[in-house]
Amino acid sequence: MFDVHEMEVNFGPQHPSTHGVLRVLLKIDGERIIEAKPIIGYLHRGTEKLFEHMAYPQCIPHTDRMDYVASATNNLGFVEAVEKILGVTKLIPRRAQILRVILSELQRISSHLLWLATHAIDIGAMTPFFYCFREREQILDLFEAYCGARLTLNCMRIGGMPEDAPHGWLDEIEAFCAKFDAAVDEYESLLTTNRIWKRRTVGIGVLSPEDAIEWGITGPPLRGSGVEWDLRRAQPYECYPELEFDIPIGRNGDTYDRYLCRMAEMRQSNRILKQCIPLIKQTTPGDLKAKISKVIRPPEGEVYHSIEAPKGELGYYIVSDGKTQNAYRCHVRPPSFVNLQALPMLAKGHLVSDLVALIGTIDIVLGEVDR
């Protein structure tokens, strides 16, 4: 009688809310998603291939371009992996360690701010976007003051840090930290108790802890499901063992819990930053580089090192042949790539409107997914 068949929609790669060039092939019945199939690779630049053809220090700028909204943590993961294969992890001066933590926590806040901005505007709340960018702009200014770049920082070196904190920089961070909690309150006052926001997020894309581990989910989505696991605490690096912070976890594993987790994480990062300022002021200015050879030629072997990037576990698997100054193989374990894999499972049975909320809540950056 009727010709009933589902509609196929190409969601992306040119679509306002796919956060880049993600393409989701949707099969929809009315507006209900029967099947969602992410198709990636539109931003594939062969970063891993490039890593094999350049010396280790030359790779650092290329790590910036993977998760381009959190380049400091990308740098951190890479330099730590190389330091690990060199066996010089213990030699990094304390001041450099604290500087790295400061930069990566600032980066975490800025990445989460960008997430909140886009997540909110995906769900239709326009105003938090601008509020988030207001604070993010201040963080980018801090980055600019430190290394001259705002987005692709290239701010870490194997064996230390390139620059000391510029004059007055730490005070600026302190001033930022003092204001930032109030700013988070402001975002939360717009969203957290908003009924429409809750209706759009509570119960959407529920991810059980078992599923999360099965799918390899890391970062805030994992913690939103109630698994208290953060690499900064589980396998601490740099000076994290001496810093006090809580790991926020959710209960239901839905979009709303992931939202709450990230909001709490921003506050925790701010707390870490506040502790770092006095710590770094106790150290000797200028003591930034470990005494390691300028020519970086690691011994034959392989390491996998991972850190807690804003989006989850960012790992580098480096194979060195012991003969050359470049990695024989450098595989990146990008958190977004793995987290995105759960999208079909999360989206099934939800509406098209929820798909944008789910893409937002996974917090993907396509530069990292496709590398």
- Show contacts with other proteins in window 3-62 (CB under 8 A): 7, 9, 15-17, 31, 40-41, 44, 46, 48-50, 52-53
At closest approach, how far in Å is the CB of 59 from other proteins? Answer: 14
Q: How far is the CB of 155 from other proteins (least distance, A)?
A: 20
User: CA nearest 110: which of 72, 154, 60, 163?
Assistant: 72
Question: Which C-beta is closer to other proteins: that of 151 or that of 351?
Answer: 351
Residue 226 beta carbon to other proteins: minimum distance, rounded to whole angstroms? 9
Q: Of 166, 162, 111, which Cα lies nearest the Cα of 144?
A: 166
Least distance from other proteins to the Cβ atom of residue 244, Å: 10
Query: What's the min distance (Å) between Cβ of 352 and other proteins?
Result: 6
Q: Does 158 bind other proteins (CB under 8 A)?
A: no
Task: Give residues 82-141 in contact with other proteins (rule: CB under 8 A).
Answer: 84-91, 120-127, 129-131, 134
What the block records as the tokens of 228 is 């208290």
Pick from 36, 113, 303, 365: which binds other proteins (CB under 8 A)? 303
Maximal CA-CA distance, the chain: 82
Nearer to other proteins, 147 or 318 (CB): 318
Residue from 23, 36, 67, 80 touching other proteins (CB under 8 A): that is 80
- Closer CB to other proteins, residue 140 or residue 351? 351
- CB atoms under 10 Å from CB of 215, counted, come to 18
Residue 173 binds other proteins, judged by CB under 8 A: no
Considering only residues 337 through 366, tell me which ones interact with other proteins, judged by CB under 8 A. Answer: 337-338, 341, 351-356
Tokens found for residue 112 = 């989460």
φ and ψ at residue 105, rounded to 5 degrees: -75, -40
Q: Which helix (H) or strand (E) holds 269?
A: helix 255-281
Q: Is-contact 63 70, C-beta < 8 A?
A: no
Size of the site for other proteins (CB under 8 A): 111
Asked if omega into 241 is within 30° of 0 (cis), the reply is no
DSSP 228: -
Residue 11 contacts residue 324 (beta carbons within 8 Å)? no
Instruction: Tell me the two tokens of residue 120.
Output: 């909110």
What mask, x for binding other proteins by CB under 8 A, covers residues 179 to 218?
Answer: --x---x--x-xx--x-xxxxx-x----------xxxx--
By DSSP bridging, strand 32-39 and strand 7-11 are unpaired
| Closest by CA position to 107, among listed 303, 331, 266 | 266
Of 93-101, 140-148, 279-287, 288-296, the window that binds other proteins (rule: CB under 8 A) is: 288-296
Site of tokens 């969203």: 191
Site for other proteins in 305-334 (CB under 8 A): 305-306, 313, 315, 317, 319, 321-323, 328-329, 331, 333
CA atoms within 13 A on the CB side of 31: 6
Nearer to other proteins by Cβ, of 64 and 80: the residue is 80
